[in-house]
Structure 1
């Protein structure tokens, strides 16, 4: 639709377009997504104030330094932060326009290969947006977006296995750990009516309904395996039997942090609290009498295998060969066309082009269930959780699973396509369903 893109034809038009941008930022899709919201404001403001510029004139350097707070020595060859953030923004815009914004006056997009926001009249819209008081200036937007650099994940030295593909987000983790000290990771102090009432698709409610049986909400266990070392000299998994003086258990991947954020948004809409705690602070006794959601692979989320037994698919860290330390998913009973092992892949120019993730749902007792969402990398984990929150992909699960009885269990393998460290698409490539009613 880029060819039909409409740019500012009058002050009134531009104000209507900016009004739609502000409506998008207030939507449930962008709820809590500060980085994407500020980036959209900046790009939209630039598009509306400089209509004569071409879509390719906006350079990564300009976005990095003007919006994301990068220093003047920013080099896009070694820092993919702009591409990652724009790809995420492009995905969020597509999700918004497909659902909440389907009747909006304009179709707002960022065409691939460009950093320019386009506004195309929506022929099916009859909505009229009130113009905001004024369009923010570049100076105002710069002030609004100056903290973006603090929110962008920075790489640390590679840790073995799952951590070798994990981007650590120190700012996010400090917040999570501080929350743990104050309130044991309760993201909601008490069940309450959501402040944002957003209609949820029936498929979403149906899938998550069993996890709403308890008024206190499900208990979500976040992976945070112990690491040795530090962010300056390098981190690696703390091996069994090691007694290092510099062992830390407060590191986790950005994908796990994003997953918690996504689930918190979902349960806020469902009207239930989401209790989140790091696995290293829990005992099996703490997990009793709760529905459980495990986020992250068993190599880091060590509580998984203490509560449930994974069946046909299990995680393993390679201990030899050129990919030593990489986490894979073993397929113990391959069916026709299935490999014996699922492993993420990369190219010389891209550290990760695809990943695999396991989704497992299994009863714990007569009234409680456990759900596992875990990739072989942190990005795969993020994709698995997103898969469980989207109505269209939940429909795929419904089509694959022949029974939804509480006594049944199933395991699914997702293949995830990744572009610039952003999960873009996921497909179910293996399914196992188990009858446990006679257990």
Structure 2
């Protein structure tokens, strides 16, 4: 865009007065310095910034200052937060490019969100499964042959006036240089959101120069298998269902839809607050942290395991009321095998009928939690056992 100095200075003042910058004198001073230098066509170095802005004195051999890099990183983060909030409609966008120390002044049209890409294989599998299912059950739908008619878990979704959204838990990845020397994506099991990624950079500021957020994401095989089974149920009930990734889910979706979530305990996203508000008589933990908490400090903790011979997973099903007369049905596990097995069983009318009849005295079909132990090899379950229901 054509640089309008008056407009730039006007919005610089607005940015530094915002709640994102106002309490950080270093970030304000640094952004003002970089803006002025950029308008003058300069491209300052770390050494220059340290001397001219912060009055530092360096040894003759010092040409870099890691503190300056941290300050720059903080400015980038504050700018992102500013434009995500009060600056969302500004006619000019200040950008400090990674690895550079000058400001670029963009037009909003330069920052239209790119199309979100995901690894396509799971969706291709799901699409093929959906086509096959639709073909096989089209006659059943027209004849109202509904085996779920007297089974409230699925029928409550079919009869609810709100549409149903199947949310598939996708995984957070970030970009960086691979051991091969090429650029690719990393998956760190302990980092499952942008917030946790930012915490990583805060603790390790040098990683700012080797890692970056990626527009990619990915789904495990669990998503394709479970989506196929759930779509089969909805084909039989005659109800509509739509699919969305958990990373794309918005708070309004939780009000306007019935929700079926299939994912990992670690990538619950917006559902984490819902789960935290539920009382459990047991807990579920991994090797690194606890995933499901109980109010009872003496509650038994179930911990999944995975070795070369066998996987043991603890899959949790939560059926509960939503916020606006809608329904939530959550399938959670730490490994693919847990959700694959549980969704497979609970989408069989005979199993669900026996489950409800057997537990009828202690089961409120409108709201219940069921914990299953699943054992198997390579995503194939060898045993399936109900451990807890409440």
TM-score, structure 2 as length reference: 0.53
What does residue range 318-397 of structure 1 map to in structure 2 within 5 Å?
Answer: 318=286, 323-324=287-288, 329-330=292-293, 332-333=295-296, 340-347=300-307, 349-350=308-309, 352-365=310-323, 367-397=325-355
Tell me the equivalent position of 2:138: 195
Contact 1:297–1:376 (CA under 8 A) maintained in structure 2: yes
- Report the CA distance between 1:392 and its aligned residue: 3.1
What does residue range 20-169 of structure 1 map to in structure 2 within 5 Å?
Answer: none
> What is the alpha-carbon distance in structure 1 between the residues aligned to residue 243 and residue 281 of structure 2?
25
2:375 corresponds, among 400, 417, 420, to 417
Query: Higher helix share goes to which structure?
Result: 2
CA RMSD of aligned residues (A): 3.8
- Report the CA distance between 1:393 and its aligned residue: 2.5
Uncovered stretches (5+) of structure 2, i.e. residues with no partner:
1-117, 179-183, 202-210
> What is the alpha-carbon distance in structure 1 between the residues aligned to residue 221 and residue 268 of structure 2?
15
Contact 1:387–1:426 (CA under 8 A) maintained in structure 2: no
> What is the alpha-carbon distance in structure 1 between the residues aligned to residue 174 and residue 125 of structure 2?
20
Tell me the equivalent position of 2:280: 312
Give the count of matched residue pairs: 243
Contact 2:155–2:237 (CA under 8 A) maintained in structure 1: no
Q: Does structure 1 residue 218 correspond to structure 2 residue 178?
A: no
- Report the CA distance between 1:382 and its aligned residue: 1.5
Q: Does structure 1 residue 251 correspond to structure 2 residue 218?
A: yes
| 1:349-376 CA distance string (max 9 Å, x none) | 32x4321110111111462221111112
Contact 1:346–1:354 (CA under 8 A) maintained in structure 2: yes
Tell me the equivalent position of 1:400: 359
Cα distance 1:171–1:277, how it changes in 2: closer, same or farther (>3 A)?
Answer: closer
Contact 1:328–1:376 (CA under 8 A) maintained in structure 2: no
> What is the alpha-carbon distance in structure 2 between the residues aligned to residue 354 and residue 297 of structure 1?
15
Cα distance 1:288–1:193, how it changes in 2: closer, same or farther (>3 A)?
Answer: farther
> What is the alpha-carbon distance in structure 1 between the residues aligned to residue 240 and residue 312 of structure 2?
33
Uncovered stretches (5+) of structure 1, i.e. residues with no partner:
1-168, 180-186, 433-439
- Report the CA distance between 1:291 and its aligned residue: 1.4
> What is the alpha-carbon distance in structure 1 between the residues aligned to residue 219 and residue 186 of structure 2?
15
Cα distance 1:416–1:390, how it changes in 2: closer, same or farther (>3 A)?
Answer: same
TM-score, structure 1 as length reference: 0.47
Tell me the equivalent position of 1:279: 246
Cα distance 1:202–1:283, how it changes in 2: closer, same or farther (>3 A)?
Answer: closer
> What is the alpha-carbon distance in structure 2 between the residues aligned to residue 391 and residue 193 of structure 1?
17
Contact 2:170–2:267 (CA under 8 A) maintained in structure 1: yes
Cα distance 1:330–1:216, how it changes in 2: closer, same or farther (>3 A)?
Answer: closer
Look at both structures and tell me which one has the larger radius of gyration over its CA atoms.
2
Cα distance 1:330–1:420, how it changes in 2: closer, same or farther (>3 A)?
Answer: same
Q: Does structure 1 residue 172 correspond to structure 2 residue 121?
A: yes
Contact 2:166–2:244 (CA under 8 A) maintained in structure 1: yes
- Report the CA distance between 1:220 and its aligned residue: 1.4
Contact 1:258–1:382 (CA under 8 A) maintained in structure 2: yes
- Report the CA distance between 1:424 and its aligned residue: 3.5
- Report the CA distance between 1:248 and its aligned residue: 4.5
Tell me the equivalent position of 2:257: 290
3-state secondary structure, aligned to 2:140: coil
Contact 2:254–2:323 (CA under 8 A) maintained in structure 1: no
